[in-house]
Structure 1
Amino acid sequence: MKSLSLIAASMLLGTSAHATPLPSTSTTTTYHRVTVDGVGIFYREAGPKNAPTIVLLHGFPSSSRQFDALIPLLATRFHLIAPDYPSFGQSDTPAPSAYTYTFDHLAETTNDLLEQLGVDRYTLYMHDYGGPVGFRIMLAHPQRVQALIISNANAYQEGLGKKWSVIAHYWDNPKAHPEVLDAFISFEATEKRHTLGTAHPERYNPDTWTDEYAHLSRPGQREIQGELLYDYRTNVAAYPAWQAWLRQHKPPTLVVWGKNDPSFIAAGGEAFKRDLPDAEIHLLDAGHFPWDEKNDEIAALVLDFMSRQRL
């Protein structure tokens, strides 16, 4: 006879005392860690491995976790890889003396991860910092890129919101303007990246920004994020090269942009039409992290767009 405690536990769990673990399905997200160029890199994966691959490139100050709600909706039909960059999420945080924190290096590490995983054909889904990472990968390996999906990943001067004129002072002389970095990694800024401009604050999980701020508050993060913020000037300088690449290669492109984003404003999403006349552009009533309140709509747009590509 089963013990009363075992039976009671089974009833509380709503399952048999002899239940077996739930089997994985194609939409089950799995979590992995590999060493890339001496750095431990964490990534999420879902979907059938023989399906077309979408590489999800996250933004600041988040991680691949920002795609948690989107991944299962896309994994019914696509293979998803979502890495954390060094010093973000669950990946290693090597000291700046051991790892050069530039967007060139983040792109190199991300590309090396994809090569190590044997992923050599993919659609890039880019957000925020994922834009500079993804564009560098594209320029280095244009033959591997099948399509682009862009959410608030800027590539045009007109997409830079007002705060970037302040950040430009930091680019001129970081040591003379520590207050710019202080504001950039502050709790207030971390929260407002999600909530500023929304008409639906009840849809936003405060755990998101409290967790992000806890990560930014870890020892060494201020120096690391300062180096990346300073290096961001190289992205703005590279805009003409990225735009030329788009004009030359004309990849199928879907833009799903949170139009209320004060950092990368709506004009940055619309500007892709200039170099990609056939791009599909959707300006959504959302902020910098549009999935926070438009996840289902974005998933539907992505699935429709991808279903029409010959991948």
Structure 2
Amino acid sequence: MRLRRSLKTAALLAAVLLGALAWWLWRDPYRVVLADYARQRAVAGLTRNAAQVGDHRWVYAYNDEAPPGAPTVVMVHGFTGSKENWYPLAQRLRGRYRLFAPDLPGWGESERKAGADYGFLAQSERVARFIQQVAHQPGSELVLLGHSMGGGIVALSAARHPQDVDRVGLFDAAGVRFQDNAFGLAVLRGRNPFAVFDAASLRRYLDIVFYDDAAKPYIPWPASRIYIDRRKRDAAFEQAVLDKIGRGEERFLPGSQAARIRQPVLLLWCRQDAVIDPSALELYAAQLPQAQRALLDGCGHMSIVERPAAAADAVNRLIAKGQAR
């Protein structure tokens, strides 16, 4: 009799918990994706935090388990990306440096405001304020890394706020007139080659940004359906940002301003990048004679995910030497 009562109690508790979980997910199905992001964050040894910086609420991942005076590394993601893109690299840098990987305003978990400017220049000023308010630590060098769109943003932040940035890393960075490819031509025609609205377009998106099949993320159902729905809701926002950074007057501003960067620089690309053609590396290098260069093979646009060990080695060299090779 007592055993039956215990089993009934356990079954009732299980039903209540399942009901609570179903209600929680019904209110916001994207929590399925966020739960996996939390798992990835834990594996990378990072902690989630938030801060009000200027007129936006930022969400970021960080790790400060580093020796006293260790350099601070701030990592800025690209178009349609998020802080999670940096986790494979952060995992390899953890313990040596203070690490910050924010979601840019408008993206990921950070705040988005209707009608706000999320182009290269506006975001570069926001990144500078994030450094000053959240990441800055007296006596610690500030290393600012940017991937893709984030690379263009970082180039402007470093050029316009040299007092806040000691070293710069541009990974597959946007912001220069690279050699024509299918992605760039589609953007100039007014399209969003990264648009995701069904399972087929999700596969196409992953095929564009990844070259190494082994590095492509596996997104099982229902997470895939939830992610697709989120990207569909973001379609107008993505187009508005592309209008600024891909087709507007700012599209080549990072490259033209890069000549003002005097700090040590790392330029890292993948040879098979189908988004920002590797010719962009030499265009940036022409403005940055002090830059260290790294051209990796067997990877595409997502160098920081496809080749995180090589990317970490390059960052370590930048910090250790900080001079042109």
Normalising by structure 1, we get a TM-score of 0.76
Counterpart CA distance in 2 for 1:199 and 1:263 is 11
1:105 is matched with which residue? 122
Change (3 A) 1:32 1:164: same
Report the Cα offset of residue 161 of structure 1. Answer: 3.0
Q: Say whether residues 1:161 and 2:181 are aligned partners.
A: yes
Equivalent residue in structure 1 for 2:235, among 208, 222, 236: 222
Question: Retained in 2: the 8 A contact 1:146–1:252?
Answer: yes
Question: Retained in 2: the 8 A contact 1:147–1:253?
Answer: yes
Question: What secondary structure sits across from 1:142 in the alignment?
Answer: coil
Normalising by structure 2, we get a TM-score of 0.73
1:149 is matched with which residue? 169
Counterpart CA distance in 2 for 1:112 and 1:274 is 29
Q: Say whether residues 1:255 and 2:275 are aligned partners.
A: no
Report the Cα offset of residue 84 of structure 1. Answer: 0.5
Counterpart CA distance in 2 for 1:55 and 1:118 is 7
Question: What secondary structure sits across from 2:151 in the alignment?
Answer: helix
Counterpart CA distance in 1 for 2:183 and 2:288 is 27
Change (3 A) 1:300 1:213: farther
Q: Aligned Cα RMSD in Å?
A: 2.9
Counterpart CA distance in 2 for 1:149 and 1:213 is 31
Q: Say whether residues 1:33 and 2:46 are aligned partners.
A: no
Counterpart CA distance in 2 for 1:101 and 1:184 is 17
1:77 is matched with which residue? 96
Question: Retained in 2: the 8 A contact 1:56–1:126?
Answer: yes
Unaligned 5+ runs, structure 2: 1-5, 7-41
Change (3 A) 1:205 1:136: same
Unaligned 5+ runs, structure 1: 6-24, 171-179
Equivalent residue in structure 1 for 2:71, among 46, 52, 57: 52
1:234 is matched with which residue? 249
Change (3 A) 1:197 1:34: closer
Question: What secondary structure sits across from 1:34 in the alignment?
Answer: strand
Counterpart CA distance in 1 for 2:310 and 2:151 is 21
Instruction: Name the aligned partner's letter for residue 33 of structure 1.
Output: A
Equivalent residue in structure 2 for 1:206, among 218, 232, 249: 218
Q: Say whether residues 1:287 and 2:300 are aligned partners.
A: yes
Change (3 A) 1:240 1:271: closer
1:304 is matched with which residue? 317
